[in-house]
Amino acid sequence: MVHETLDTARDATASGARPAVTIRGLRKSFDGRQVLGGIDLDVPSGRIVSIIGQSGGGKTTLMRCVNLLEQPDDGVIDVNGETICAKGAVTCRNLAKLRQRVGMVFQRFNLFPHLTAVENVVLAQMHAAGIGEREGVERAVRLLTRVGLAHRATAYPERMSGGEQQRVAIARALALGPTVLLFDEPTSALDPESTGEVLRVMRELANDGMTMILVTHELPFAREVSDWVVFIDGGRIIEQGTATDVLDKPREARTAAYVARYAAPA
């Protein structure tokens, strides 16, 4: 079953954009416990891929391997045609540049509480990309406008809603000019209104051609935003396909059990 859906993904890639991320045979263990047991995955450019599954199943580890926040034990990862890891060895020559190209938006926002929204976005550019303050401020304002927060540029995180903080975090990631964005449970701490705000921003990014990989337990959100859904259990891909295929017509018993548990909105 996995091979059928993987073939479908490859067919979609062949007929559309080239893959932004290609993963083959990815393995990772911690303290002798296997977390990823041989992952094969293609992420076409300009698509949103959601990774779903039980806690501890390997979702976040898989995503963190894509920008080498975790180093795989084995397997190959290509990002935009460059092999960044092969057979457990890092082949990427510049990890800082990789992490600019593959941005990450964290579950808990990770904003600096003593800095305003615009300052949080500026700081990322100055430290990671060496951009001057004046240019950084101009770019930060443009990005905050893009995510609908120009009016909150001088607000501090404690004065912002969860959805606003998450959108600042997205603007901060965009400031480094990524080609791929990784999202780790981006809506788990948000109310429905804030979730809708983040969904709108992600859809606009997708319309602009941004490639996104999303880890989530929020299946209604995954259904709404995803071009492709991947169900992982026990460190392996059990099933993948369109949101309709995986969430409405799962073929595997483990997928069906998971969907039955998490599909209904809270």
**CATH number of the structural domain spanning residue 93:** 3.40.50.300
pLDDT digits (tens, 9 = 90+) for 36-94: 999 999 999 999 999 999 988 899 999 999 999 999 999 999 999 999 999 989 999 88
- pTM of this structure: 0.87
In-domain check, residue 16: yes
Report whether pLDDT(8) > 50.
no
In-domain check, residue 156: no
In-domain check, residue 44: yes
In-domain check, residue 153: no
In-domain check, residue 117: no
In-domain check, residue 65: yes
Domain containing 61: what range? 2-108+179-262
Report whether pLDDT(127) > 80.
no
Report whether pLDDT(252) > 50.
yes
Model confidence at 6, pLDDT cuts 50, 70, 90, reads very low
- CA–CA distance, 96 with 18 (Å, rounded to integer): 24
In-domain check, residue 157: no
Q: How many domains does the chain have?
A: 1
In-domain check, residue 23: yes
Report whether pLDDT(16) > 60.
no
Model confidence at 129, pLDDT cuts 50, 70, 90, reads low
